[in-house]
Each structure stands twice: as C-alpha cells, then as structure tokens.
A and B are shown apart, each in its own frame.
Chain A
Amino acid sequence: MNDYILSCDSTVDLTLEHVRARKLEFICYHFFLDGVMYKDDLGQTIPHEKLYEAMKNGADTKTSQINIDEYLEYFTPFLERGKDILHVSLSSGLSGSYNHGVTAARELSEKYPDRKIYVVDSLGASSGIGLIMDTLADMRDAGKSIDELYSWVEENKLRLNYWFFSTDLSFYVKGGRITKAEGMLGGLLGICPLLNVNSQGKLVPREKVRTKKRVIREIVARMEEYAEGGPNYSGKCYIAHSAIYEDAREIAALIEARFPNLSGKVLINSIGATIGSHTGPGTAAVCFWGKKRED
C-alpha cells in the first residue's frame, strides 16, 4: 500500500471515471453561472454541454479560487489517516489558488510534523495537468516514493506542452487571463488565434491563423516541432475541448496518422467548468510531452 496520495483539483479536465480509475484525489473549484454558485465537480452537477450552451446564449460566468480553509478541510482527513500528500495545482499564472494551497500546507505541516505535504505549481492547466497526473500515477504504481515523484514533477512540468486555439477569443478577453488581446479577435475574418502556455504558466496568443482548418493543421505542425522525438513521439497525447468535439476528433485523427509511435490513442476530454468559464465554447487544446517551455 502506498503511504501517500496523489491529489489534483477539478481543473485537471479528466472524466470522473478516469480520475477514480487512476486513484487520484481532487479538490473542487466553485463557479458562478448567472450569479448562482455551483461546485466544479467534473461535470456532475452541471454537465459541460449545458454550461457552454448557456455561455453561447450570453450567460455570465465567474470562477472562485480555492481558499485556504477549503484546502485545510480537504487535506486534513488524508493526514489524519497517516497519508502524505502530493498535490498538483492549476498554474499560478492563472489563479491564486496555488498560493493558498501552499499556505494551507505550511499550517498543516506544523500540526502534522511527521507528514509530508508537497504542493506543486503545475504552471499548466486542464488536461495537461491531467496528463501530468496520469504519468505520476504510472510512477506511483511502479512503486516510486513520494519524494521521487515530487522531484520528477518539479523537474519535468515545463516539458508539458500546451498548444491550443479558440474560434472566439472574446470569452478569454472578458476573463482577463491572456497576455494580450489587441488585434487578436478578428472574428470578421474567421481568425482562430493559436495560443500556448509559457514558462510562467500564462496563456500567450502566438499567431493569428485564418480559418479553423488551417489552425488545426498548424497545431499538429507545432506538435511535430515541439514533441519529444518530433514525429517519433512515443508518449501520450491528450486533447481538451469546449463544445467542439468534431474538431477535437479531426485533430486526434491527424495526430494519430502523423505520430505512429504514439502511446495509445489520443484521449479526448471536455474542458470543465472552471477553465471553461474563461475559454467559453470553441477551444481545443493539445497537450503532450516535449521541449521545455523557455519563454
């Protein structure tokens, strides 16, 4: 039996079944839909499709970070049971939750001096964290210790690459979580901006690409450029999307054709409520292991 738990939060954007199967624990964010607060519990309370439909119709969304109290309440039972904790949080470049997690962990270490509590800033988001958690779960199952996992994830988290596009950047602009917005909208011309996550874990618009068809090709080209081993990439690839399943399928098919050594099929997930409140419908993100993010 492991003497530690692997923990993440509801921005991991994996299905509940997946999270359970990999024996991952998670803490929930909360979000507001037209002023009413809901738990982001991987789509159990409010199905993702319903959220995106509401957003398309102009619903107002807001997200709420996880505060120190919530972390204390969530971490404590594991510690009580004598388990150590490795918790991976949403990027500090997007949310203050990470800091609250660190503060909670510090308080708890005083109360439980024999326990180890590691809180990791993923500098990433969504199914990318999902892919990190999946890899950590593999290592745990292979019998590695919590310290080995902690140093590995700190060493490797910037090797997780995120490339994504949006057919409508206006939700991102409203949410205020992108580094620049001017001139990136281009809705009249059908521009789908190509973005990635930088080394500070922030969302950076990289290029304005005309039409969805082209941005899909471009995203696969970026994967060829940045994936470990290029076209010989043999790791896993996760896609997260918000209400554009068909496009996600198309990207997955292209990737499966272009990367013959891929480990398994591309896994397609739906972007959950917390991330989705800021992306709105129309985003697809490709996550894979590759070159370390440097800028």
Chain B
Amino acid sequence: MSLSAAIGQTPSPSPVVDAAVVRSPGYWTGVLRRLSRDPVAMTALVVIVLLLLMAIFAPYIAPADPSKGSMLRRLKPIGFPGYPLGADELGRDMLSRLIHGGRLSLLMGVTPVPIAFVIGSLLGITAGYVGGLTNTLIMRTVDVFYAFPSVLLAVALSGALGAGLTNALVSLTLVFVPPIARVAESVTTQVRGLDYIDAARASGAKAGSIIRVHVLGNVLGPIFVYATSLVSVSMILASGLSFLGLGVRPPEPEWGLMLNTLRTAIYTQPMVAALPGVMIFITSIAFNMVSDGLRSAMDVKS
C-alpha cells in the first residue's frame, strides 16, 4: 500500500522543495574523511595538538621556574638529579624552559601565516580575477619582495623595524605575503578561465558575487594547503630571528633564542645544546606532514 502510494507520488515533483533530496556529502566532508584515514597526518596532528596544549598549560606542566638559575648547576647533562633534561648555561631547568619556550615559538611560527594568508589571498585573487593592468601592478610589486631570499628579507625587515616580538611578527608576515599572493594569483587565473565563470558572467552576476560564490570555493583550498606548508618555514625563520637577536629578547625562553645562547656549550654539553633544535624540528615536521596530508586529501579528483 505504502509502496504504490509512493510510486504514485513520484512523477509529480512539487515546486516546494522536498526534504527527500539525496544529498551528496560535501567536498570538505570528503577531505576530512580522507585526512582522518591518513595515519601520518593524524599522528602529526596529534603532535601539534600536544605541543599546543603544552604551550597553553606551560605554567602548570613545567616542573620549575624557567627563569630561575643557579650558578652552581650550569650546563648539567640530561638526567642530572632535579634536571630531567639538564640545565642551561645559567643553570636554568631545560625542561621547563623548553615547555615555556613553546609559547613564544609557536606564537611566532603560527601567527604570521594566517595573517599573510588573508593579505596574500586578497592581493592574489584580486590580481588574478581582474587581470590586465591591476594584475601587472600587484604582481610586479610582489615580485620585488619575492626577489630577496626569505631569510634575508626577514632579517632586513626586522632589522629596519627594530628588534622585538611585534616587529618580528610583522616582518615574518610581510615575508609570507608575496609567495601566498603568487599562488593565489596563479590558481585564480586558472579558475577564471573556466567555463563556469563565463556562465556566471553570462547570467549577469557582478564580480563580487562571482568571486564569493564561484572563485573562493575553488581557490582557497589550494592556497590554504600552501599556507600550512609555510608554518614550518615560519617557525624556523622566527627561531632564526631570535637567534640573531631580532626577535625575542633574553631572558624570555624561546627555542631559537635558546639555541643561540647554548651554542657556546656545543662542545661541553652537545645533547643539551641540541634540545631546542629538536623541538623546532619536531614542530616544523609535524606541520609539514599535516600540510602534505591535507594536500593529498584535497587532491582526489573524483
């Protein structure tokens, strides 16, 4: 009875949208599902979450005060009683300093990328969609920045702006805008030439609407993947700036800065001196692996 009634109803589609429409899972649902099945990316994601938790709850986790030194216990090896990961050149607890150092290092590594992502995407998508003279103006300006190696540019910018956390963040952001703008421009130019953009223009839509509905959804994904791969670069550059004395000032714990101050101890306590580097390495490789996983999760054609 119910079957025949259902069959009888099918051929008359009501103009009112019915609830019985088969919904395919959206694109991002698929991406997340594939990402969740990637063991490497998931492991790396867990590592990043742990690092973030460590940074957030540093005061509660750290066994000792990261700035309290002891002249008697300078440069103690790993496993020294009371100092699970040894002590630094001023006798401060390395474990506590590494835990606290994650706060600034992650802040400096992660913050510039989303900001650069917004600015770079804005520039690149505008250049790619509008084309012509606008494209030339934006992209040639970007190319000027692009011509310098990123380390040199970061050092020059924060040198010009002066040392300090904020200036280091600003200069790192400026370093990442050009490459993101470039990727955004090339992806947008590619999408802009596709027929569905022409079809949208033919329907009389304005540029703003076309960009919002048709361009962004197809362009932000690839730019986002590229941006995530920059997090690790940003971490390393930030450490480099601190190492050069352009980022964080001592005695604040920061991995790059710690690497710098401990470099004189490389012959006496090499294992201890290498620890900040190990942390930078683990963090940047975790971000890289998530970025790789995201790329392959998004890259599935069908």
A complexed with B: no
